[in-house]
A and B are shown apart, each in its own frame.
Chain A
Amino acid sequence: MITKTEDFSGNLIEFCDVSYRINDIPGREVISGVSLGVPIGETLVLLGRSGSGKTTLLRLVNAMLLPSQGRVMVQGRPTAEWDPIRLRRGIGYVIQEAGLFPHFTVAENVALVPTLEKWEREQTTARVNDMLRLVGLDPSEFANRRPRELSGGQRQRVGVARALAADPPILLMDEPFGALDPVTRAELQREFHTLAQRLRKTIVFVTHDLREALMLASRIILLEAGRIVAATAPREFLRVDHPEVKAFAASLETPGAPG
């Protein structure tokens, strides 16, 4: 398991000239020559169109994929050398539609990693209740429900609680709010923004929504066809002179909207 982050100086996650090819077929690169360091406490947003390689980059962090070339280091150690199970239990993971286990209650879903790690029962229960309160769900009302009895927004809150349950230093999020209605999405984005600042986790967040990126990121990485084309703080992003940045900036303008 990843140890306490205070003991580690430098980049918690580091991509060193990483390329990824599907089935290792030369010429079919999904990721090409990416070098990138993620310091502790950063909320890094990977922005890009569908197929730009942002999800692939995310999955390289927790060894769901291994690089075809180069190395991905987590806590100074290449992912290829980590025991993938140990590595993943120290990295929270939130995806679109949450991927909650339908045969588990909300509490059992949140308790997943603590249960796998064989925590004491009382400790797990206390932690589950803390996590549910943290994401704005009353444990007495929600702990014993099944995922199908929740709304999309509630499911996603449980997904975040599950990812945080074992207190992992790293959080990976793949378009977590992508399937929600606009009102719920905005609500969860705001709450998550506050939560992220309070928890001081190292977060890698994938989205194709520039608005979301500008709101949550401490740094935005723009990907196009598997390459990094821009890497800036959010307030600098719109000033970057690159066609793909301009294309994303254009997505912010809503024609016909008043003002």
Chain B
Amino acid sequence: MNPSLSEWSFFAEHRAEILAATLDHMALVVIAMVIAILIAVPLGMFIVHRPALRAVSIGIANIFQTIPSLALFGFLIPIPFIGGIGKRTAIVALVLYAILPILRNTYVGLSGIDPAVLEAAEAMGMTPSQILYRVRLPLALAVILAGIRTATIITIGIATIAAAIGAGGLGTFIFRGVALVSDSLILAGAIPAALLALIADFLLGLLELRLRVV
């Protein structure tokens, strides 16, 4: 369905509202991503040398990924402290979705380093923490960032569903549009969300390219 003239005029009339919802949406995504990175990257660093813990943590992160997002939002509402209606619940759910790609890429990046490089590092007398921070992490950065990029795109999409539990954002237009059978309303939510995803993908892609060493 191509946006017709009436839809363009709808956008023009509601541009303040759409902009506000877009900023709201971005805030949800940014907060969720920052928390997810702060959890997943250190966790990934921690599980590199701990195979048992690795299986458990990646397994748990996998399970969250398989729960349909609307259901996860629903499950979280009755939980005390993190649940309820509103942004907080939405952010918790988004974080749970974002952890897996970041965690997996952090682990893959840190463990996929040329064994000759690690052998040389150890044999030249680097301590385990020097090897982690000066060799493994810098070499894994591009792979970790690729995980963050994937997680960001997923989060921008899933955040539209967060409107169902009153978290605001661009999903508000979509849900209203579905209820009122209005293409204009649906597009007012969907187009900015798609643009956000494309822009985030492009910018993080650029950064990833710059960080790629080999």
Contacts and interface: CB of A to CB of B under 8 A. Distances in A.
Given A96-B116, A100-B117, A162 B124 contact: yes
B213 interface: yes
A29 to B, nearest CB: 23
B117 A99 contact: yes
B124 A97 contact: no
Interface in A120-147: 146
Given A99-B117, A99-B119, A100-B117, A112 B214 contact: no
A85 B125 contact: yes
A150 to B, nearest CB: 13
Nearest to B116: A99
B124 A64 contact: no
Contacts of A86: 125
A102 B214 contact: yes
Interface stretch (A87-95, A195-203, A234-242): A87-95
Contact of A112 (B114, B116, B124, B138): B124
Interface in B62-91: none
B139 interface: yes
Which has the most chain B C-beta neighbours within 10 Å: A88, A101, A146? A101
Nearest to A58: B123
B6 interface: no
A163 B119 CA distance: 13
A238 to B, nearest CB: 33
Which has the most chain B C-beta neighbours within 10 Å: A87, A103, A148, A163? A103
A99 B114 contact: yes
Given A99-B116, A148-B214, A88 B124 contact: yes
A103 B130 CA distance: 14
B194 interface: no
A172 B135 CA distance: 22
B115 to A, nearest CB: 8
B122 interface: yes
Nearest to A117: B125
B124 A113 contact: yes
Interface string B93-133: 00000000000000000000010110111111111001000
Interface in A59-88: 62, 64, 84-88
A100 B139 CA distance: 12
Contact of A99 (B120, B130, B139): B120
A95 B214 contact: no
Contact of B125 (A96, A98, A113): A113
B120 A95 contact: yes
B117 A101 contact: yes
Given A116-B130, A148-B214, A100 B125 contact: no
B212 to A, nearest CB: 10
Contacts of A93: 120, 123-124
B125 A101 contact: no
A93 B117 CA distance: 12
Contacts of A162: 124
Interface string B134-168: 01001100000000000000000000000000000
Contact of A101 (B122, B123, B135): B135
Which has the most chain B C-beta neighbours within 10 Å: A89, A99, A116? A99
B120 A100 contact: yes
B124 A89 contact: yes
Contacts of B214: 102, 148
A196 B85 CA distance: 74
Contacts of A96: 116
A103 B139 contact: yes
Interface of A: 62, 64, 84-89, 91, 93, 95-103, 112-113, 116, 146, 148, 159, 162-163, 172
15 contacts: A64-B122, A64-B123, A84-B125, A85-B125, A96-B116, A98-B120, A99-B114, A99-B116, A101-B121, A102-B139, A112-B124, A113-B124, A148-B214, A162-B124, A172-B123
Given A88-B123, A99-B116, 6 more contacts: A85-B126, A89-B124, A95-B116, A95-B120, A101-B120, A103-B139
